Structure formats: C-alpha cells, structure tokens
Amino acid sequence: MLVMALLIGGLIAAGLYLMLRRSVAKLIFGIVLVGHAVNLIVFSSGGLLHAGSPVVEEGRKTLVHPHPDPLPQALVLTAIVIGFSVQAFAIVLIKRAHQAAETDDFDRMDTTERDG
C-alpha cells in the first residue's frame, strides 16, 4: 500500500512538472503520467491484497475467499480504454498544432488570445 501511494505521488509530481513546462511535447508525457497515476488510484480503491483473480472458477457458483474487489478492476479497465483513446487523440492534436504553429513553445501559441 505504501509503495503504491509513493508511486502514485511520484507519477503525479513528475506528470504535473512536465505539464507545466512550456514545451508542448512534454505536455503529452505529463498527461500520460498523470493518467497512469489516476488509474492506479482507481485500481487500489478497492484495497490491495495478495489473492487470486476475481473470476468465478469452472464449476463454482461464487468467488473463492479471499478475493479482491472486482469492481475497481472493471472500472480501471474502462478508464484505461478511455485514457488510451484520449491520449491517442492528444498526440495527433499536438502534432498538428506543432506543425501549424511552427513552434514547440506554449507561450507562443497565443493567436486565440489576441483580437483580430
């Protein structure tokens, strides 16, 4: 549990640091890292224990005790899929923005802030 907490903290710290940089390329790495950290939060929200998988075995009607909570696993699977598609879009968008603006610097992508 402690290892998990430290890992999540480290990932978020690194991810936010990257997101706060001016370079757009680092932004995507930041998004990915924070995304992983959040998935880990959801994953560990049902508690962590050393036990088998929450799959009903052949010939049984219920799960064998002790078993982990299956719901966070289902949630995190959904979250990973969503995160994956969003990140794929983000990469393409950043590539296009980089090509259109001819810069990697967030501060110079400011045409929408000006009138005209």
Partner 1 sequence: MRSLILQVMTRGLTPLLLLFSVYLLLRGHNSPGGGFAGGLIASSVLVLFALVFGVQETRKALRVSPLSLLVSGLAIAVLSGLVGWFEGGDFLQAWWYGREVEIIHHFGTPLLFDLGVYLTVLGAMLTMVLTLIEEA
Partner 2 sequence: MNSASLVLTLPVVIPLATAILTLALREHRAAQRTASVTGWTGLLGVAIWLLIEVQDAGAIAVQLGGWPAPYGITFVADRLSALMVLVSAAMGLAVGLYSLAGLSPEREHHGHHTLFHVLLMGVNGSFLTGDLFNLYVWFEVMLIASFVLVTLGGRRGQLEGGLKYMTLNLLGSMIFLASVGFLYSQTGTLNMAHLHVVLDESGGGTLLLTISVLLLIAFGIKAAVFPLFMWLPTSYHTPPTAVSAIFAGLLTKVGVYALIRAFTLIFTFDVGWTHSLLLWLAGLTMASGVLGAMVQGSVRRILSFHIVSQIGYMVMGLALYTLAGLAGAVFYIIHHIVVKTNLFLIGGLIARVCGSAELSRVGGLIRKRPLLAGLFLIPGLSLAGIPPLSGFWAKFAVIKASLEVDAWVIAAVALAVGLWTLFSMMKIWSEAFWKPDPEDERCVPVPMDLASRVLGYGPVIALALVTIAIGLYPAWLADHAAASAVQLLEPDDYLRAVLGEALR
34 class by beta-carbon count within 10 Å (0-12 exposed, 13-18 middle, 19+ buried): buried
C-beta of 57 vs 105, nearer to partner 1: 57
Q: Is 85 in the site for partner 1 (CB under 8 A)?
A: yes
Instruction: Decide if residue 55 touches partner 1 (CB under 8 A).
Output: yes
Q: Which of 6, 10, 45, 51 binds partner 2 (CB under 8 A)?
A: 45
C-alpha 47/C-alpha 41 separation (Å) is 10
Q: Which one of residues 1, 3, 62, 115 is an interface residue with partner 2 (CB under 8 A)?
A: 115
Provide the token pair at 76. Answer: 């995190």
Which residues contact partner 1 by CB under 8 A?
A: 53, 55-56, 81, 85, 88, 92
